[in-house]
């Protein structure tokens, strides 16, 4: 999928940019742009290297109600524990599918025979260029998880129907997880 280059064309034209802040994971730039209608604006942009997330199916995709590996993970910004799918930030030069495999292994211990790209999404395009690539993992083999020291994670298998009910009931609030689980339920499984 090709997306417009934000430095030219229908997406507008970047006239200049200055780095306002840089950290371990992100940077903040102030971009001067000319919008497609000719209006000149200054926009604060959070620059992010991108990420990958994966829906790990424990049972066959053609099972009546396949089991999904969910995570309960501590998220300071959200004020506590969130239900999520395994995910992580792309390392320099890393392909999204390799990141999905790495994060699945680190956070759950599982290895997948197959990983299929589902869709790529922008998380919050009003102020960040962060894009998350969503995948489906099948043919899982168990192993030992090795989360990063700053990751407080509980692995919790759930039937897909329960995960969908958790979305409906507001228990799953993480956007990437909601999109990926709904995508799998709506488009990927043989129903």
Distance of CA 164 to the CA centre of its chain: 18
Cβ neighbours of residue 118 closer than 8 Å, sequence gap 6 or more: 55, 134, 135, 136, 180, 183, 184, 187, 188
Structural tokens at position 8: 């030219």
42/47 Cα distance (integer angstroms): 15
> 73 pairs with which residues across the strands?
82, 153
Q: Which of 94, 111, 116, 151 is catalytic?
A: 151
109/155 Cα distance (integer angstroms): 10
Order of strands, sheet of 27-34, starting from the edge strand that comes earlier in the sequence = 13-22, 27-34, 40-47
Q: Is 151 a catalytic residue?
A: yes
In b/e form, how buried is each residue of 9-28, taking b as 16+ CB within 10 angstroms?
Answer: eeebebeeeeeeeeeeeeeb
Largest separation between any pair of C-alpha atoms in the chain? 55
Under a CB-based contact definition with an 8 Å cutoff, are residues 56 and 77 in contact? no
Q: Which residues are catalytic?
A: 151
């Amino acid at each position: 999928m090709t997306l417009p280059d934000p430095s030219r064309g229908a997406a507008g034209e970047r006239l200049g940019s200055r780095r306002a802040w840089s950290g371990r994971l992100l940077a903040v730039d102030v971009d001067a742009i000319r919008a497609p209608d000719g209006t000149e604006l200054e926009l604060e942009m959070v620059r992010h290297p991108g990420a990958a997330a994966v829906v790990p199916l424990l049972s066959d995709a053609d099972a009546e109600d396949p089991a999904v590996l969910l995570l309960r993970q501590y998220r300071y910004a959200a004020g506590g524990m969130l239900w999520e799918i395994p995910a992580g930030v792309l390392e320099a030069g890393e392909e999204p599918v390799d990141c999905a495999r790495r994060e699945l292994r680190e956070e759950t211990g599982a290895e997948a025979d197959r990983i299929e790209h589902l869709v790529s999404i922008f998380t919050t395009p009003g102020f960040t260029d962060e894009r998350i690539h969503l995948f489906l993992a099948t043919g899982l083999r168990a192993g030992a998880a090795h989360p990063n020291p700053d990751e407080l994670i509980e692995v919790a298998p759930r039937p897909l129907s329960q995960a969908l009910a958790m979305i409906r009931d507001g228990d799953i609030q993480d956007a990437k997880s909601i999109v990926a689980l709904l995508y799998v339920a709506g488009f990927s499984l043989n129903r």
